[in-house]
Structure 1
Amino acid sequence: MPKLFRELRDPETGRWLPKEVWYRVRGAVAVLLSLAVLVGGGWFVYGKVHDAWLAYRTTDDYIDAEGAADVVVEIPQGSTASKIADILLASDVIKTADAFTKAAAADPEGAKKIQYGLYKLRTQIPAKTALEMLLDPANQIKNQFQIPEGLRLSQVLSTLAKATNVSVKSFQKALKKRSQFDLPSWIGKSNEGFIFPDTYNLPLKPNAVNVLELPIAQFNKTLSDLAFEERADALGYKPYEVLIVASIIEREVFRDEDRAKVARVFYNRLEEGMRLQSDATVAYAVKKTGTIWTTDKERASDSPYNTYKHKGLPPGPITAPARKALDAAVNPEEGKWLYFVPVNLDTGETVFSETYEDHQKALEQLHSWCLQSEENKKKCS
């Protein structure tokens, strides 16, 4: 028999001692109750501390990387980290904007690589996870449209209308209120020249304004990258004049290596007081597409864009030049050329000449190439 219970009996008679039993049982119960209070209190305190810790951790940020639900978020072009944070906060992707700006500050190179467009994300995820998802191409929703190089404005607007289901009239109406776009102050009255050719991500809800903002923003970025205004000033021309030169280069040149040379030809002719005699400007004047070759009748046009008839530059661009044409216009190659002509329309081989006599020889080369086959004749017409 256990000692505890032996001590509860009378040693002589073996009978239970009621008082002693009660005292012992009461003491044991008190001990058990004390232990229960301690254990229960411990769990209570642990629960409170745990809840406080979770509350502290989630005050500024979510902690579940799985999130709650799928959500599509649109990041506009040129968005800063703080702007992206506001967008993510509004969509309940992150808990606070401060959490995302801190995550972006911890990975500044990564944050710079976030592209504009549509993203499939999760709601209620940590800011760091949101940043990682924005940097993962697999989460970007590709819905793109392209503005090809060398198109005049009417062709560009038709292309945009087909790609976005926004009417041409809507684009034309938007362009009548150019103050709503961030255009350089030196841009002329024409709407040619700044709807930059490139590939773009379609906005979630496309309209004339938010679609046009994309190529205009890219146009401005390209000008900044090339130090376009500063370089134009160094050449002795106004930025708009150099933009016009770039637009002609875009339509005149076949090969990349010839662009800077063609730019020099145009500047040389302007400085010599010679007419530019660009077939590309005449084609624009008479609304001719598909070719830059022009006839004697077309070159007799009275249009101010006819650089065979009028000295100096045309009054505005004839297309929106791409980056390579803009680059060539502000970085012309050194040379004394006054003439150029392609002598092989398949390869784009071009001959540059300093004298009219040499230019005539180059024209004979072109003429010979055009007569080599019926197919060549078609390309020269």
Structure 2
Amino acid sequence: MFKDNKTKYYLIAVVSFSVLLTSLSFYFYQAFFSPNALIDKEDPYILKIPSNATFQMVSDSLYQNGVIHELITFSFVSKVLGYQEAVKSGLYTIPAKTSNLNLVRLLRSGNQTPIKLTFNNVRTKEDLAEKITKNLEISPDAFMDLITDSVYIRKFGFKEETVMGMFIPNTYEIWWNTSAEKVFDRMYKEYGNYWTEARLAKAQNLGLTPIEVSTLASIVQAETQKSDERPKVAGVYLNRLRINMPLQADPTLVFAVGDFNLKRVLNVHKEIDSPYNTYKNTGLPPGPINLPEISSLEAVLNYEEHDYLYFCAKEDFSGYHAFAKNYNEHINNARRYQAALNRSKIY
């Protein structure tokens, strides 16, 4: 009888252990391999993990935003794989129906999804700070702190007046959590990539440094939105520079005034005491008056050769310009345009 009871208890213990082991195995399998992220979704989720984020912050964000279904199993797998103590900041794309194992591996690896960084139509440093940090973790203020730091930007070979020329408008891939300092490093690298030996040779043939090319390109860009006309406009300004004639570029006066809504430059504006007043001063202003696009830089480097010294907006408001080789011809063009302004009540 005793042996029968002992056998009975042994069998019960074995069965219980087997049931427990099976249950634990099933739990472990479910915890690790069953879908737990976006189980009812088809589209991926973009997760942004800020710098210095804790595991608690990450798990709360995932759970509260409905990304993960089971918080406990996610936390368990994270603990087993050592992710709770190794959170990495960044931007991650989480596919639909992802298991805890794959999700934790993704987050633990730091395998971020790069973002597209695009900036153009920039007039001021403030504009640049807003646009370049729009989709980054860093704030515009953090960027402004650097771009206005004369000591910091000097290490790149720029001054406060010229540093805008370091930023070549384009589309770049970059990490979301890139620091402000790393953004500057990346943009300086891209600046060097743009200024190839061939482009440097073209600038030298013009008697210009790369930053002077950027400065002239910014004026050309402000003068015309028509990219096909920019080489012709660049040719006018280069002709003026060669004979030491003032550039007399209205956009530089707008920059000096600081009113970018100014629709019409008047004689009073031409009397402004500013190094950016190209009516009073010969040569180029101290630096770019906006962020010149690649098409504007190329327009200067590959300018159109001609004998024009003047140009004026066409009276049809097409955005194109009428070019002149002498002052009398230019005055006639200007009068037609001014009459058109008056008729349109643009003062």
Q: TM-score, normalised by structure 2?
A: 0.61
2:9 aligned residue: none
Establish whether residue 152 from structure 1 lines up as the match of residue 124 from structure 2: yes
Deviation per CA, 1:321-366, whole angstroms, max 9, x where unpaired?
Answer: 1111100111111101100111157421211111011111111221
- Secondary structure of the structure 2 residue equivalent to 1:193: helix
Superposed counterparts of 1:209-224, under 5 Å: 209-224=181-196
Q: Secondary structure at the match of 1:164?
A: coil
Runs of 4+ in structure 1 over 6 Å off:
117-122
- How has the CA–CA distance of structure 1 residues 293 and 201 changed in structure 2, closer, same or farther, with 3 Å as cutoff? farther
User: What is the letter of the counterpart of residue 159 of structure 1?
Assistant: K
Which residue does the alignment assign to 2:61?
none
Q: Contact 1:195–1:215 at 8 Å: present in 2 too?
A: yes
Opposite residue 217 of structure 2, the aligned amino acid is A
1:289 equivalent to 2:260? Answer yes
Gaps of 5+ in 2: 1-43, 47-90, 99-110
Could you say if the C-alpha distance between residues 262 and 208 of structure 1 is closer, same or farther in structure 2, counting changes exceeding 3 Å? same
> Using a 3 Å threshold, how does the CA distance of structure 1 residues 173 and 337 change in structure 2: closer, same or farther?
same
* Seq. identity, %: 28
Q: Residues 313-352 of structure 1: matches in 2 within 5 Å?
A: 313-344=284-315, 346-352=317-323
For residues 198-225 of structure 1, the C-alpha deviation after alignment (integer angstroms, 9 at most, x for no partner) is 334452314322334444443332322x
How many angstroms apart in 1 are the aligned matches of 2:117 and 2:317? 28
Residue 266 of structure 1 aligns to which amino acid in structure 2? Answer: Y
Structure 1 Cα separation of the partners of residues 228 and 301 of structure 2:
15
Structure showing greater radius of gyration is: 1
Deviation at 1:245, TM superposition (A): 0.9
Contact 2:125 2:144 in 1 (8 A): no
Residues 1-381 of structure 1: pairs in structure 2 closer than 5 A:
141=113, 143-164=115-136, 166-175=138-147, 176=149, 177-178=152-153, 183=156, 185=157, 187-190=158-161, 191-224=163-196, 227-291=198-262, 293-344=264-315, 346-373=317-344, 377-378=345-346, 381=347
Q: Tell me how far apart the structure 1 counterparts of residues 242 and 261 of structure 2 sit (CA, whole Å).
A: 31
Query: Secondary structure in 1 aligned to 2:311?
Result: strand
Residue in 2 aligned with 1:21? none
User: In structure 2, what is the Cα distance between the partners aligned to 1:317 and 1:241?
Assistant: 8
Offset of 1:303 from its aligned partner?
Answer: 0.7
In 2 relative to 1, CA 294–118 (structure 1 residues): closer, same or farther, beyond 3 Å? farther
Bigger RCO of structures 1 and 2 (CA < 8 A, at least 6 apart): 2
Between the aligned partners of 2:236 and 2:141, the Cα distance in structure 1 is 38
Counterparts of 1:119 and 1:361, CA distance in 2: 61
CA distance in 1, matches of 2:305, 2:127: 34
Q: Taking structure 1 as the reference length, what is the TM-score of the superposition? A: 0.56
